[in-house]
Structure 1
Amino acid sequence: MKKVTLVDLEPIDHYTIKRSHPITEEDRHVVYSLYQPLVGIESISLYMMMLTEYERKSEQVQNHYFYMNLFGESITTIQEWRMRLEAIGLLNSYVEQNEIPLYYYELMPPVSAKSFFDDPLLSTFLFSKVGEATYVRLRDLFIVPKWKKDALHNVTRSFTDLFEPTSMRTLPALEENHQFETSIKEESSYRLPSFDFKALRDHLSEQLMDDAQFERLPKALIQNLAHLYQYSPFDMAEVLLIAMNQYGVELTEQTIRKTAVDFYKLNRSTEPPALRRKADDVPTTEEVSEVGDEKNDMLRYFNTVSPAQLLCDISQKQPYPTTLKLVERLMNEHSMPTPVINVLLHYIYLNYNGKITASLTETIAQQWAIKGIKTAKEAIAISKLEHTQYQKYKEEKERKPERPNMYTKRSTREEPVPEWFGKATEEEEKEETSEEVERLRQALIEELGIPKKEGDTNGTN
């Protein structure tokens, strides 16, 4: 007997279609409009073909050559489409180990549109795939306006108004191996990694949340949010405590979800988390060529760390509340991406003696926004360029005589410098010594690879 694994599906293997729930016309609308952007039109075509097979030739046994010939694709591609349906909760697959394996494909209806948009994973996955405008338009397709019934008089007849029992008879029982189709599937059937609720309980003291209140927490929602935002049990405990402090001890799904979003924006990113298939994570040629490179490691660090953690890393202490509020303003008022904020904070901290002032930081943020800086890589490039220009500006200023000579011809050429250099100069001149200036200049010369002239111990031309 052949041992079956995930990659052992062969064209000759048999299959049959099963169904435990009816799939309505409304379900089809949800599948086409909301699930198709998540798994692709190919997987949805396979799902609809399976549904047609079941409705036209119920439970007929067939082999997988049928799908290969129908779609003109390899068995590996057909299996990939099938696995996407399984992952999103539209299909359950079982196998019976025979000489020729027999697969049972159980078609599952989608969740309702309301449940889809209430589900933090499904709704965020859709948002990340189609963008805000299309997301809102798709949501509006399933919104039904409420109609007011308060001013109307209900004249609906009840069952007992028209019917009454005349005799009682013993009804025939359902056979043991039979069951009715259930009419609706509200809960999502996709599977997530388990969440450590015991660790969550350990992080919440009984004085703040007793056992009865902990048991009333919406466990499924907490598991979804933890997976979506990559929250640890400690992070989720922080979210719950913040929600209790803001909204009261009795938590609701709405308050937990809102607090989780706010916590993510403050500590991770202003952009919503983007869910994608693991197959989409293949590195590009440029990324592969930079693997192991120190610059790539730094770029990866800026792209993944939160601003609060970056401040802890570079200063070896907890950031001041005023600095965190500055970070929040950069996120919300300036709409600056988190990786760019990280580069900006790192740049200012290293070049201005660990002093991160609000006026200077927001001025540079505005300049970068005008220049369209959106990624950490772009931020690193512009910070290096502006630092180079600034050093040239300072060196020229230092070489100028304190008292202008009337016989000396003034140069009409000036190096272009960023608008914020005026503020930078005022603040820096109060702190930097001449030794620090020389150290920075030498570091810049080495980085640019400028060769020293013979007999020049300072490295100047």
Structure 2
Amino acid sequence: MNFIGKILPNDGYKVTIKGHLPVDYTISLTHLYQPIIGIHAVMLYQTLLHDATIFSQTEFTTHHQLMSCMGLPLDEIYEARLKLEAIGLMNTYEIDEETFSGFSYGLIGPFSPKQFFQDAMLSQLLYHQIGTYRYHQLQDRFINGDSEQGKDITASFETVFKGVRFTNGPIQLKQTDHIKQLGPNIQEIDFNWLAHVLKKQMIPPERVLTATNRRIISQMKILYDLANHEIEKCVLWAVTEDHTINIEEFKQACHDTFMMNKKYQTFESVKPKQISLDKHQAESQTKQPRTKEEKLIQILETISPQQLLADLSNGHKASEQDLTIVRDIMLSQGLPAPVMNVLIHYVLLQSDMRLSRKYMETIASHWSRANLKTAKEAMAFAKKQQKQFDKRRSNKQTTSYYNKHPKSADVIPDWFKNRQQNQEAKQPKSKPVIDVQKEKEKMADFIKRHAKN
């Protein structure tokens, strides 16, 4: 991210706090905001929050001191600041006065856990970031876990203030900037076209397009990058019998529409590289394949993962479990459809035609880091990795064999033994050694015996 010229280490800043912080704001920051904006943004928010309590509003410090305190370079601090602004936790004002020149950071209190889950965009962002199981675990803890027990006998306003009359007209409360900017900083879209569509369907627009619903619709449109006609279908799908909108059904409809789009299942907009890649794929599809491998690559470039699973199942419909695995991996790793097809084909061949989630996730993360874009690249990469794996396995087996079977003593051939025996036979035998003293004693004993006789 280019921050050159926008902020300097010597630029000063001062911090103000808008509104009041909820009691459990630290829980919201750690478990709900942090998975979305990252640890650096949360650390910056807490550092500025403590700066506001330590220093007065007239005092200011420099970003160089902030860099020393956080142990981060200025570009990462600037990026973290933008995330806080986008998520609705900070407003930034540039000040150029005689007494002070720099920035004023207005911190906005985060939502409480219950308010966080009531915000459609924040809850949806958290859902995609931490997964289904963890999301429902936190939702049950912060919402369902705090539900009150017993019968609700709370008095209503009408029963207590019945008969009260006011002489003046109703007071119009002006919405402050602070209230407007709670939650993610999203600009609302133009709803005139949607109101016109609802009128055609005999649905009162004022009941569907409330202030809260307009904000949710804007959030889902930006989050999933949906077109107007797609938002129109999702809204009409979620309209209930009493002409209101079911928010959960609307969110699910937006998610399903996004998953069905041919956008490589990613939240990012299409980049120029991807556009040129599509042209390259279109050109490659016009060429007639010659070998079996080229035919397979052409099929994997054009077919969808769902069709591939059905073809590999002898025409039977792919199971919901397999489609869920493929969907989650494509969404988390951002793999293009042709690369995902090669991955499916490779995993099925390696694991006896079974789709193992852990095995696929391991390979998918590797392929995602390798930045593979086409089926041809993925197939060549898979072959290369397989050759390296086979070579390592062969070396390992050879080493283990020699460890278990150490080398025996050298085998001596028979001709060498016979040659050695002949050489020993030709050598003269050494004469026996005579003990002279012993022979003298034997001779003296022999003479004595004969002398007596």
Normalising by structure 1, we get a TM-score of 0.53
**Secondary structure of the corresponding residue to residue 104 of structure 1:** strand
Q: 1:129 deviation in Å? A: 2.8
Q: 1:38 deviation in Å? A: 1.9
Structure 2 counterpart of 1:146? 147
1:226 and 1:305 mapped to 2: Cα distance? Answer: 28
Paired residues of 1:111 and 1:186 also in contact (CA < 8 A) = no
Considering fraction of residues, name the structure with more helix: 2
Structure 1 counterpart of 2:16? 18
Structure 2 counterpart of 1:335? 323
1:328 and 1:88 mapped to 2: Cα distance? Answer: 45
Call closer, same or farther: CA 1:329–1:210 in 2, change over 3 Å.
Answer: farther
Q: 1:34 deviation in Å? A: 1.3
Q: Which runs of 5+ in 1 are unaligned?
A: 161-181, 311-326, 348-365, 386-461
Q: For residue 227 of structure 1, what is the amino acid of its counterpart?
A: I
Structure 1 counterpart of 2:250? 256
2:184 is the alignment partner of 1:190: yes
**Secondary structure of the corresponding residue to residue 109 of structure 2:** coil
Call closer, same or farther: CA 1:303–1:202 in 2, change over 3 Å.
Answer: farther
Q: Deviations over 1:294-329 (max 9, x none)?
A: 389989xx9999999x9xxxxxxxxxxxxxxxx996
* Among 29, 41, 44, the residue aligned to 2:42: 44
Question: After superposition, where does 1:87-126 map in structure 2 within 5 Å?
Answer: 87-98=86-97, 101-126=101-126
Structure 1 counterpart of 2:404? none
Q: 1:108 deviation in Å? A: 0.6
Identity of aligned residues (%): 20
Q: Deviations over 1:177-224 (max 9, x none)?
A: xxxxx9x96973422354232333344452433444454471111111
1:71 and 1:146 mapped to 2: Cα distance? Answer: 39
**Secondary structure of the corresponding residue to residue 131 of structure 2:** helix
2:40 and 2:125 mapped to 1: Cα distance? Answer: 18
Q: Which runs of 5+ in 2 are unaligned?
A: 161-175, 286-296, 308-314, 343-351, 381-453
Q: For residue 130 of structure 1, what is the amino acid of its counterpart?
A: I
Call closer, same or farther: CA 1:43–1:233 in 2, change over 3 Å.
Answer: same
* Among 294, 300, 320, the residue aligned to 2:281: 294
2:283 and 2:78 mapped to 1: Cα distance? Answer: 36
**Secondary structure of the corresponding residue to residue 45 of structure 1:** helix
Call closer, same or farther: CA 1:147–1:118 in 2, change over 3 Å.
Answer: closer
Q: 1:36 deviation in Å? A: 1.7
Call closer, same or farther: CA 1:212–1:7 in 2, change over 3 Å.
Answer: same
Paired residues of 2:9 and 2:63 also in contact (CA < 8 A) = yes
1:69 and 1:341 mapped to 2: Cα distance? Answer: 42
2:377 and 2:8 mapped to 1: Cα distance? Answer: 54
Normalising by structure 2, we get a TM-score of 0.53
Q: Deviations over 1:427-448 (max 9, x none)?
A: xxxxxxxxxxxxxxxxxxxxxx
Q: 1:257 deviation in Å? A: 2.8
- Which structure is larger by alpha-carbon Rg, 1 or 2? 2
Paired residues of 1:42 and 1:81 also in contact (CA < 8 A) = yes
**Secondary structure of the corresponding residue to residue 25 of structure 1:** coil
1:329 and 1:107 mapped to 2: Cα distance? Answer: 53
Q: For residue 320 of structure 2, what is the amino acid of its counterpart?
A: N
**Secondary structure of the corresponding residue to residue 110 of structure 1:** coil
Call closer, same or farther: CA 1:125–1:305 in 2, change over 3 Å.
Answer: farther
* Among 232, 239, 243, the residue aligned to 2:234: 239
Q: 1:133 deviation in Å? A: 3.8
1:331 and 1:62 mapped to 2: Cα distance? Answer: 60
Structure 2 counterpart of 1:163? none
Q: 1:341 deviation in Å? A: 12
Call closer, same or farther: CA 1:23–1:250 in 2, change over 3 Å.
Answer: closer
1:23 and 1:237 mapped to 2: Cα distance? Answer: 37
**Secondary structure of the corresponding residue to residue 92 of structure 2:** strand
* Among 194, 202, 209, the residue aligned to 1:200: 194
**Secondary structure of the corresponding residue to residue 184 of structure 2:** coil
Q: For residue 68 of structure 1, what is the amino acid of its counterpart?
A: M
Structure 2 counterpart of 1:8? 6
Count of paired positions: 313
Paired residues of 1:196 and 1:233 also in contact (CA < 8 A) = no
Q: 1:43 deviation in Å? A: 1.9
Call closer, same or farther: CA 1:16–1:332 in 2, change over 3 Å.
Answer: same
Q: For residue 9 of structure 1, what is the amino acid of its counterpart?
A: I
Q: 1:225 deviation in Å? A: 1.3
Across the aligned residues of Structure 1 and Structure 2, the Cα RMSD in angstroms comes to 5.4
